[in-house]
Amino acid sequence: DIQMTQSPSSVSASIGDGVTITCRASQDINNWLAWYQLKPGKAPKLLISAAYRLQGGVPERFSGSGSGTDFNLIITGLQPEDFATYFCQQGHSFPLTFGGGTKVEI
Amino acid sequence: QVRLQESGPGLVKPSETLALICNVSFYSIDNGLYWGWFRRPPGKGLEWIGSTYSGRTFYNPSLKSRLTISVDASNNQFSMRLTSVAAADAALYYCARGLDAYTYDSWGQGALVAVSS
């Protein structure tokens, strides 16, 4: 299985701040990486696929970068609705695997 | 816009079978996309359980011996059955639609499952 290591596990930030979340794969996954946002009581939301492709309706303050084994999710200008938990997920091969998650807190 | 809703028992006894249904609305389950199950145990991360696509199933090897995923196209639903559940199977279970084998763009809100006698 491909292991996904995500950091940090949590980050404290303020409205307007920028945050970078890192995800590292245990092997080359090309750009088969997605980022999801999870909030309690809500359906998970796909933010980015193929490492950098922003999904429709996702604000442009979210961006993704990286390829191979190292990836970033960057949030610029945090908004109140961005405080949530974020997960990376590799799609290079089954079984699909996720990073451990990053909780973005106020 | 597609909508997914999980349903099932909130409590399952150890060694029994967990059965969950995902009802899909506003999109035909026959339209050739992937349909998947995921879970998140309390205090832990997300885990892929398995998916189905065009009559084929793909299972997480860690669950494969206990897992069945099937489609009921007549009711626009898909389901999962996990046998011999244990405390480690307690989790928030999600169903989701996959645009491809790994990009899941629409999710249900989740069904909480506890395992206890």
SS (H, E, C) A55-103: CCCCCCCEEEEEECCEEEEEECCCCHHHCCEEEEEECCCCCCEECCCEE
Interfacial B residues in 27-56 facing A (CB < 8 Å):
40, 45-48
State pLDDT tens for residues A20-62.
Answer: 999 999 999 999 999 999 999 999 999 999 999 999 999 999 9
Whether pLDDT at B32 is above 90: no
Mean pLDDT of B71-78: 96
Q: Tell me if B111 sits within 8 A of B92, measured CB to CB.
A: yes
Contact A43 B48 (CB under 8 A): no
Mean pLDDT of B68-96: 97
For residues B111 and B10, give the distance between their C-alpha atoms in angstroms, rounded to a whole number: 7
Bond prior to A95 in cis (omega within 30° of 0): yes
Distance from CA of A98 to the nearest CA of B (A): 6
Mean pLDDT of B23-47: 95
Contact B108 A49 (CB under 8 A): no
pLDDT at A106: 82
Question: Within an 8 Å CB–CB cutoff, is residue B57 touching chain A?
Answer: no
Whether pLDDT at B19 is above 90: yes
Question: Among all residues of chain A, which has the CA nearest to that of B98?
Answer: A46
Residue B109 identity (one-letter amino acid): Q
